[in-house]
Amino acid sequence: MTIYTLPKHIDFEGQVNAKNTHLFTLKNRTGMEVAFTDFGARIVSILVPDKNGNLIDVALGFKSIHDYFAADEKYHGASVGRYANRIANGRFELEGKTYTLQQNNGPNSLHGGPQGFHNKVWDRQVSMQKKVDFYYTSPDGEEGFPGTLNVHVSYELSNDNEIIIHYRATTDKTTVVNLTNHTYFNLNGEGDGDILSHMVEIPAETYLPIDEHAIPFGFESPVDETAFDFRLARKIVEALNPEDEQIQRGHGYDHTFVNKQPLTQVAATVYSEVSGIKLDVFTTEPGIQFYTGNFLSGKDTGKSGNRYLSQSAFCLETQHFPDSPNRSNFPSVVLKPGAVFESTTIYKFGLVK
Protein backbone atom coordinates (compact mmCIF):
# COMPACT_ATOMS: atom_id res chain seq x y z
CA MET A 1 0.00 0.00 0.00
CA THR A 2 1.28 3.48 -0.81
CA ILE A 3 1.83 5.70 2.23
CA TYR A 4 0.91 9.21 1.19
CA THR A 5 2.50 12.23 2.85
CA LEU A 6 2.21 15.89 2.00
CA PRO A 7 5.02 17.33 -0.14
CA LYS A 8 7.73 19.23 1.74
CA HIS A 9 7.70 23.02 1.89
CA ILE A 10 11.37 23.20 1.03
CA ASP A 11 10.84 21.35 -2.25
CA PHE A 12 8.46 24.09 -3.39
CA GLU A 13 10.88 26.96 -2.89
CA GLY A 14 11.82 28.17 -6.36
CA GLN A 15 11.55 31.20 -8.60
CA VAL A 16 9.71 32.18 -11.79
CA ASN A 17 10.23 35.61 -13.32
CA ALA A 18 11.78 36.90 -10.08
CA LYS A 19 8.83 35.73 -7.99
CA ASN A 20 9.31 33.13 -5.28
CA THR A 21 7.20 30.00 -5.15
CA HIS A 22 5.94 28.28 -2.01
CA LEU A 23 3.82 25.44 -0.66
CA PHE A 24 0.81 26.05 1.60
CA THR A 25 -1.20 23.47 3.48
CA LEU A 26 -4.68 23.43 4.97
CA LYS A 27 -5.93 20.86 7.43
CA ASN A 28 -9.40 20.32 8.87
CA ARG A 29 -10.79 18.69 11.99
CA THR A 30 -11.40 15.31 10.35
CA GLY A 31 -7.77 15.05 9.26
CA MET A 32 -8.18 15.95 5.59
CA GLU A 33 -5.17 17.87 4.29
CA VAL A 34 -4.80 19.87 1.10
CA ALA A 35 -1.60 21.39 -0.26
CA PHE A 36 -1.33 24.28 -2.72
CA THR A 37 1.37 26.20 -4.49
CA ASP A 38 1.28 29.79 -5.70
CA PHE A 39 2.75 28.65 -9.03
CA GLY A 40 -0.50 28.51 -10.99
CA ALA A 41 -2.60 28.92 -7.80
CA ARG A 42 -2.78 25.17 -7.91
CA ILE A 43 -3.75 22.18 -5.81
CA VAL A 44 -0.74 19.91 -5.20
CA SER A 45 -2.27 17.18 -2.99
CA ILE A 46 -5.60 16.18 -1.50
CA LEU A 47 -5.35 13.66 1.33
CA VAL A 48 -8.75 12.20 2.24
CA PRO A 49 -9.70 9.15 4.32
CA ASP A 50 -10.70 5.98 2.45
CA LYS A 51 -13.14 3.34 3.71
CA ASN A 52 -10.47 1.92 6.04
CA GLY A 53 -9.61 5.33 7.50
CA ASN A 54 -6.27 5.54 5.66
CA LEU A 55 -5.36 8.89 4.12
CA ILE A 56 -5.19 8.60 0.33
CA ASP A 57 -3.83 11.32 -1.98
CA VAL A 58 -6.49 11.58 -4.70
CA ALA A 59 -4.89 14.44 -6.70
CA LEU A 60 -2.19 13.86 -9.29
CA GLY A 61 0.84 16.10 -8.98
CA PHE A 62 4.54 16.32 -8.28
CA LYS A 63 6.82 16.32 -5.28
CA SER A 64 8.72 19.50 -6.13
CA ILE A 65 8.25 22.81 -7.91
CA HIS A 66 10.95 21.78 -10.38
CA ASP A 67 8.88 18.80 -11.42
CA TYR A 68 5.96 21.17 -12.12
CA PHE A 69 8.18 23.38 -14.33
CA ALA A 70 9.51 20.36 -16.22
CA ALA A 71 6.23 18.46 -16.56
CA ASP A 72 4.86 17.33 -19.90
CA GLU A 73 1.32 18.04 -18.66
CA LYS A 74 1.23 21.68 -17.52
CA TYR A 75 -2.20 21.92 -15.93
CA HIS A 76 -2.05 19.56 -12.92
CA GLY A 77 -4.22 21.13 -10.20
CA ALA A 78 -3.94 24.59 -11.74
CA SER A 79 -6.20 27.60 -11.88
CA VAL A 80 -6.74 27.96 -15.61
CA GLY A 81 -7.46 31.26 -17.39
CA ARG A 82 -7.98 33.83 -18.72
CA TYR A 83 -10.01 31.54 -20.95
CA ALA A 84 -10.20 27.91 -19.81
CA ASN A 85 -10.78 25.38 -22.62
CA ARG A 86 -10.69 26.16 -26.34
CA ILE A 87 -11.27 29.17 -28.55
CA ALA A 88 -11.55 28.05 -32.18
CA ASN A 89 -8.80 29.21 -34.54
CA GLY A 90 -7.33 31.34 -31.74
CA ARG A 91 -9.53 34.28 -32.58
CA PHE A 92 -12.67 36.09 -31.51
CA GLU A 93 -14.44 39.40 -32.00
CA LEU A 94 -15.49 41.72 -29.24
CA GLU A 95 -17.15 45.12 -29.65
CA GLY A 96 -16.19 45.16 -33.36
CA LYS A 97 -12.50 44.34 -32.84
CA THR A 98 -10.81 41.05 -33.74
CA TYR A 99 -8.44 39.55 -31.17
CA THR A 100 -5.82 36.98 -32.17
CA LEU A 101 -4.46 34.45 -29.70
CA GLN A 102 -1.67 31.93 -29.91
CA GLN A 103 -2.80 28.60 -31.41
CA ASN A 104 -1.34 26.16 -28.89
CA ASN A 105 -3.71 23.23 -29.50
CA GLY A 106 -3.91 22.46 -33.22
CA PRO A 107 -5.73 25.47 -34.66
CA ASN A 108 -7.23 26.38 -31.24
CA SER A 109 -6.15 28.54 -28.37
CA LEU A 110 -6.22 26.36 -25.24
CA HIS A 111 -6.40 27.34 -21.55
CA GLY A 112 -5.47 31.01 -21.95
CA GLY A 113 -2.36 30.37 -24.05
CA PRO A 114 1.07 28.94 -23.16
CA GLN A 115 1.69 31.70 -20.61
CA GLY A 116 -1.80 31.45 -19.12
CA PHE A 117 -2.61 31.72 -15.43
CA HIS A 118 -1.31 28.19 -14.74
CA ASN A 119 2.17 29.50 -15.51
CA LYS A 120 2.15 32.56 -13.22
CA VAL A 121 3.24 32.92 -9.63
CA TRP A 122 0.23 34.40 -7.85
CA ASP A 123 0.29 36.60 -4.75
CA ARG A 124 -1.13 34.84 -1.73
CA GLN A 125 -2.42 35.01 1.80
CA VAL A 126 -3.21 32.12 4.16
CA SER A 127 -5.81 32.54 6.91
CA MET A 128 -6.02 30.34 10.00
CA GLN A 129 -5.06 27.09 8.18
CA LYS A 130 -8.60 27.20 6.75
CA LYS A 131 -8.34 29.34 3.66
CA VAL A 132 -5.81 30.38 1.09
CA ASP A 133 -6.33 33.37 -1.20
CA PHE A 134 -4.45 33.82 -4.48
CA TYR A 135 -4.34 37.05 -6.49
CA TYR A 136 -3.11 37.76 -9.99
CA THR A 137 -3.25 40.85 -12.18
CA SER A 138 -3.18 39.96 -15.86
CA PRO A 139 -1.98 42.97 -17.86
CA ASP A 140 -3.96 44.42 -20.79
CA GLY A 141 -3.01 42.43 -23.91
CA GLU A 142 -1.49 39.49 -22.03
CA GLU A 143 -1.71 36.37 -24.25
CA GLY A 144 -3.75 38.52 -26.67
CA PHE A 145 -6.71 39.29 -24.37
CA PRO A 146 -7.97 42.87 -23.90
CA GLY A 147 -8.17 44.59 -20.50
CA THR A 148 -6.27 44.43 -17.24
CA LEU A 149 -7.90 41.57 -15.35
CA ASN A 150 -7.70 41.40 -11.57
CA VAL A 151 -8.32 37.82 -10.49
CA HIS A 152 -8.84 36.38 -7.04
CA VAL A 153 -9.13 32.63 -6.42
CA SER A 154 -9.76 31.40 -2.89
CA TYR A 155 -9.69 27.86 -1.57
CA GLU A 156 -11.35 27.05 1.72
CA LEU A 157 -11.24 23.65 3.42
CA SER A 158 -14.36 22.98 5.48
CA ASN A 159 -14.77 20.50 8.31
CA ASP A 160 -17.20 18.62 6.02
CA ASN A 161 -14.30 17.68 3.72
CA GLU A 162 -15.21 20.29 1.11
CA ILE A 163 -12.74 22.29 -0.93
CA ILE A 164 -14.70 25.46 -1.67
CA ILE A 165 -13.26 27.39 -4.60
CA HIS A 166 -14.39 30.93 -5.20
CA TYR A 167 -13.39 33.00 -8.24
CA ARG A 168 -13.71 36.76 -8.61
CA ALA A 169 -12.52 38.95 -11.48
CA THR A 170 -12.82 42.57 -12.62
CA THR A 171 -11.52 44.35 -15.71
CA ASP A 172 -10.79 47.87 -16.98
CA LYS A 173 -11.80 47.07 -20.61
CA THR A 174 -14.41 44.71 -22.01
CA THR A 175 -12.91 41.22 -22.10
CA VAL A 176 -13.78 37.51 -21.95
CA VAL A 177 -13.29 35.35 -18.84
CA ASN A 178 -13.61 31.63 -18.19
CA LEU A 179 -11.88 30.25 -15.09
CA THR A 180 -11.59 26.68 -13.89
CA ASN A 181 -9.58 24.32 -11.75
CA HIS A 182 -7.72 21.53 -13.53
CA THR A 183 -7.15 18.94 -10.80
CA TYR A 184 -6.66 15.40 -12.09
CA PHE A 185 -8.31 12.98 -9.67
CA ASN A 186 -7.81 9.29 -9.09
CA LEU A 187 -10.00 8.12 -6.22
CA ASN A 188 -7.89 4.99 -5.71
CA GLY A 189 -4.90 7.24 -5.09
CA GLU A 190 -2.71 9.16 -7.53
CA GLY A 191 -0.58 6.85 -9.65
CA ASP A 192 -2.71 3.84 -8.72
CA GLY A 193 -3.80 2.48 -12.09
CA ASP A 194 -6.54 3.80 -14.36
CA ILE A 195 -9.90 5.33 -13.49
CA LEU A 196 -11.97 3.19 -15.86
CA SER A 197 -13.69 1.31 -13.05
CA HIS A 198 -14.75 4.52 -11.26
CA MET A 199 -18.51 5.09 -11.13
CA VAL A 200 -19.85 8.36 -12.55
CA GLU A 201 -23.20 10.06 -12.10
CA ILE A 202 -23.98 13.34 -13.87
CA PRO A 203 -27.60 14.54 -13.93
CA ALA A 204 -27.06 16.49 -17.20
CA GLU A 205 -29.74 15.85 -19.85
CA THR A 206 -27.55 17.27 -22.63
CA TYR A 207 -23.91 17.63 -23.62
CA LEU A 208 -22.02 19.50 -26.33
CA PRO A 209 -20.90 17.32 -29.26
CA ILE A 210 -17.55 18.34 -30.77
CA ASP A 211 -15.96 18.55 -34.21
CA GLU A 212 -12.60 17.02 -35.21
CA HIS A 213 -10.76 19.88 -33.44
CA ALA A 214 -12.71 19.33 -30.17
CA ILE A 215 -14.76 22.51 -30.72
CA PRO A 216 -18.49 22.23 -29.94
CA PHE A 217 -20.78 22.48 -32.98
CA GLY A 218 -22.83 25.00 -31.05
CA PHE A 219 -25.87 22.93 -30.13
CA GLU A 220 -26.75 20.73 -27.17
CA SER A 221 -27.46 17.07 -27.79
CA PRO A 222 -29.55 14.77 -25.56
CA VAL A 223 -27.53 12.22 -23.59
CA ASP A 224 -30.36 9.71 -23.93
CA GLU A 225 -29.14 6.32 -25.22
CA THR A 226 -25.59 7.54 -25.76
CA ALA A 227 -22.21 7.06 -24.10
CA PHE A 228 -22.93 10.39 -22.38
CA ASP A 229 -25.88 9.22 -20.34
CA PHE A 230 -24.70 9.26 -16.71
CA ARG A 231 -28.08 10.17 -15.23
CA LEU A 232 -27.85 6.86 -13.41
CA ALA A 233 -24.43 5.93 -12.03
CA ARG A 234 -22.36 3.94 -14.52
CA LYS A 235 -18.86 2.55 -14.58
CA ILE A 236 -16.74 4.63 -16.99
CA VAL A 237 -15.52 1.54 -18.83
CA GLU A 238 -19.10 0.36 -19.39
CA ALA A 239 -20.31 3.71 -20.74
CA LEU A 240 -17.27 4.46 -22.86
CA ASN A 241 -18.32 3.08 -26.24
CA PRO A 242 -15.25 3.01 -28.50
CA GLU A 243 -17.50 2.93 -31.60
CA ASP A 244 -19.09 6.24 -30.73
CA GLU A 245 -17.82 8.97 -33.07
CA GLN A 246 -17.88 11.53 -30.23
CA ILE A 247 -15.79 9.28 -27.99
CA GLN A 248 -13.35 8.81 -30.87
CA ARG A 249 -13.05 12.57 -31.37
CA GLY A 250 -12.32 13.12 -27.69
CA HIS A 251 -10.03 10.04 -27.48
CA GLY A 252 -12.33 9.18 -24.55
CA TYR A 253 -14.44 11.64 -22.61
CA ASP A 254 -13.40 15.25 -23.21
CA HIS A 255 -16.79 16.91 -23.44
CA THR A 256 -18.89 19.58 -21.80
CA PHE A 257 -21.99 18.43 -19.92
CA VAL A 258 -24.66 21.10 -19.61
CA ASN A 259 -25.25 21.79 -15.92
CA LYS A 260 -28.68 22.95 -14.76
CA GLN A 261 -28.12 22.17 -11.07
CA PRO A 262 -27.98 25.10 -8.62
CA LEU A 263 -25.01 25.29 -6.24
CA THR A 264 -27.01 23.43 -3.59
CA GLN A 265 -27.46 20.31 -5.74
CA VAL A 266 -24.86 17.85 -6.94
CA ALA A 267 -23.73 18.53 -10.52
CA ALA A 268 -21.50 15.43 -10.78
CA THR A 269 -20.46 12.52 -8.59
CA VAL A 270 -17.61 10.07 -9.06
CA TYR A 271 -16.76 7.25 -6.68
CA SER A 272 -14.52 4.24 -6.42
CA GLU A 273 -15.83 0.97 -5.04
CA VAL A 274 -12.23 -0.02 -4.28
CA SER A 275 -11.27 2.87 -1.95
CA GLY A 276 -14.86 3.82 -1.08
CA ILE A 277 -13.98 7.47 -1.74
CA LYS A 278 -16.68 9.63 -3.32
CA LEU A 279 -16.33 13.07 -4.88
CA ASP A 280 -19.38 15.32 -5.27
CA VAL A 281 -19.09 18.45 -7.38
CA PHE A 282 -21.29 21.51 -6.89
CA THR A 283 -21.00 24.59 -9.08
CA THR A 284 -22.55 27.84 -10.25
CA GLU A 285 -21.05 27.26 -13.72
CA PRO A 286 -23.23 26.22 -16.70
CA GLY A 287 -20.84 23.52 -17.91
CA ILE A 288 -18.65 20.69 -16.67
CA GLN A 289 -15.85 19.39 -18.85
CA PHE A 290 -15.61 15.70 -18.03
CA TYR A 291 -12.15 14.68 -19.20
CA THR A 292 -10.72 11.19 -18.72
CA GLY A 293 -7.06 12.23 -18.91
CA ASN A 294 -6.80 10.84 -22.43
CA PHE A 295 -3.71 12.86 -23.32
CA LEU A 296 -1.65 12.00 -20.23
CA SER A 297 1.35 10.64 -22.04
CA GLY A 298 3.22 8.53 -19.49
CA LYS A 299 6.17 10.96 -19.69
CA ASP A 300 5.50 12.37 -16.21
CA THR A 301 6.32 10.55 -12.98
CA GLY A 302 4.12 11.60 -10.09
CA LYS A 303 4.61 12.09 -6.36
CA SER A 304 4.69 8.45 -5.39
CA GLY A 305 7.00 7.44 -8.22
CA ASN A 306 4.43 6.11 -10.67
CA ARG A 307 4.06 7.25 -14.27
CA TYR A 308 0.92 9.11 -15.24
CA LEU A 309 -0.52 7.14 -18.14
CA SER A 310 -3.51 7.92 -20.34
CA GLN A 311 -6.77 7.62 -18.35
CA SER A 312 -4.99 7.34 -15.01
CA ALA A 313 -7.12 10.28 -13.81
CA PHE A 314 -10.22 12.29 -14.57
CA CYS A 315 -11.04 16.00 -14.39
CA LEU A 316 -14.35 17.70 -13.72
CA GLU A 317 -13.63 21.21 -14.93
CA THR A 318 -16.50 23.50 -14.03
CA GLN A 319 -16.66 26.31 -16.56
CA HIS A 320 -18.50 28.16 -19.31
CA PHE A 321 -18.75 26.44 -22.66
CA PRO A 322 -15.74 26.09 -24.96
CA ASP A 323 -15.52 28.69 -27.75
CA SER A 324 -18.21 30.88 -26.16
CA PRO A 325 -16.58 34.12 -27.43
CA ASN A 326 -17.55 32.94 -30.95
CA ARG A 327 -21.00 31.61 -30.04
CA SER A 328 -23.72 34.14 -29.33
CA ASN A 329 -26.16 31.35 -28.32
CA PHE A 330 -23.89 30.14 -25.47
CA PRO A 331 -24.03 31.74 -21.98
CA SER A 332 -21.97 34.92 -22.20
CA VAL A 333 -18.35 35.07 -21.05
CA VAL A 334 -18.08 38.83 -21.61
CA LEU A 335 -16.96 40.91 -18.62
CA LYS A 336 -17.30 44.69 -18.74
CA PRO A 337 -15.64 47.36 -16.62
CA GLY A 338 -17.65 47.94 -13.46
CA ALA A 339 -19.07 44.39 -13.44
CA VAL A 340 -17.77 41.59 -11.21
CA PHE A 341 -17.29 38.01 -12.41
CA GLU A 342 -17.96 35.55 -9.60
CA SER A 343 -18.23 31.81 -9.54
CA THR A 344 -18.11 29.02 -6.97
CA THR A 345 -17.23 25.34 -7.21
CA ILE A 346 -17.17 22.83 -4.37
CA TYR A 347 -15.32 19.52 -4.42
CA LYS A 348 -16.79 17.54 -1.55
CA PHE A 349 -15.25 14.25 -0.42
CA GLY A 350 -17.03 11.49 1.41
CA LEU A 351 -17.44 7.72 1.46
CA VAL A 352 -19.76 5.53 -0.57
CA LYS A 353 -22.67 4.42 1.63
The mark string for 136-165 relative to ligand GAL (x by CB under 6 A, - otherwise) is: ------------------------------
Of 100, 156, 146, 150, the C-alpha closest to 126 is: 156
Say which DSSP state 59 is in. Answer: B
* Sign (positive or negative) of CA dihedral 243, 245, 246, 252: positive
Dihedral of CA atoms 169, 42, 104, 256 in degrees, nearest 10, equals -70
Could you tell me the smallest distance in angstroms from the CB atom of residue 277 to ligand GAL?
22
Judged by beta carbon, residue 60 or residue 163, the one nearer ligand GAL is 60
Could you tell me the smallest distance in angstroms from the CB atom of residue 130 to ligand GAL?
29
Calpha distance 85→178 (Å, rounded): 8
Q: Where are the beta strands (DSSP E) in 223-266?
A: 234-235, 254-258
Could you tell me the smallest distance in angstroms from the CB atom of residue 90 to ligand GAL?
14
- Judged by DSSP in three states, 130 sits in coil
Positions annotated as catalytic residues are: 182, 317
Could you tell me the smallest distance in angstroms from the CB atom of residue 224 to ligand GAL?
24
Judged by beta carbon, residue 133 or residue 300, the one nearer ligand GAL is 300
Judged by beta carbon, residue 285 or residue 317, the one nearer ligand GAL is 317
Judged by beta carbon, residue 85 or residue 269, the one nearer ligand GAL is 85
Among 50, 162, 254, 280, binds ligand GAL (CB under 6 A): 254
* Residues 208 to 237 in contact with ligand GAL, rule: CB under 6 A: none
Among 2, 22, 27, 73, binds ligand GAL (CB under 6 A): 73
- What is the residue type of 13? E
Residue 84 to residues 75, 81, 110, 111, 287, Cα–Cα distance (Å): 11, 5, 7, 4, 12
The mark string for 308-337 relative to ligand GAL (x by CB under 6 A, - otherwise) is: ---------x--------------------
What lies within 8 Å, CB to CB, of 6 at 6+ separation is 25, 33, 35, 45, 47
Vertex 79 angle, CA 73 and 96, to 5°: 105
Could you tell me the smallest distance in angstroms from the CB atom of residue 309 to ligand GAL?
14
Judged by beta carbon, residue 274 or residue 309, the one nearer ligand GAL is 309
Judged by beta carbon, residue 4 or residue 228, the one nearer ligand GAL is 228
* Residues 277 to 306 in contact with ligand GAL, rule: CB under 6 A: 289, 291, 295
Any contact of residue 68 with ligand GAL (CB under 6 A)?
A: no
Calpha distance 301→299 (Å, rounded): 7
Could you tell me the smallest distance in angstroms from the CB atom of residue 150 to ligand GAL?
24
Give the interface size with ligand GAL as a residue count (CB under 6 A): 9
CB distance 182 to 291 below 8 Å: no
Could you tell me the smallest distance in angstroms from the CB atom of residue 110 to ligand GAL?
6
Q: Where are the beta strands (DSSP E) in 6-107?
A: 14-16, 19-21, 23-27, 33-37, 42-49, 55-57, 79-80, 86-87, 91-94, 97-100
Judged by beta carbon, residue 49 or residue 293, the one nearer ligand GAL is 293
Q: Per-residue DSSP letters for 1-24? A: -PPP-PPPGGGG-EEETTEEE-EE
What lies within 8 Å, CB to CB, of 118 at 6+ separation is 40, 42, 74, 75, 78, 79, 80, 111, 112, 182
Residues in contact with ligand GAL by the rule CB under 6 A = 73, 75, 85, 110, 254, 289, 291, 295, 317
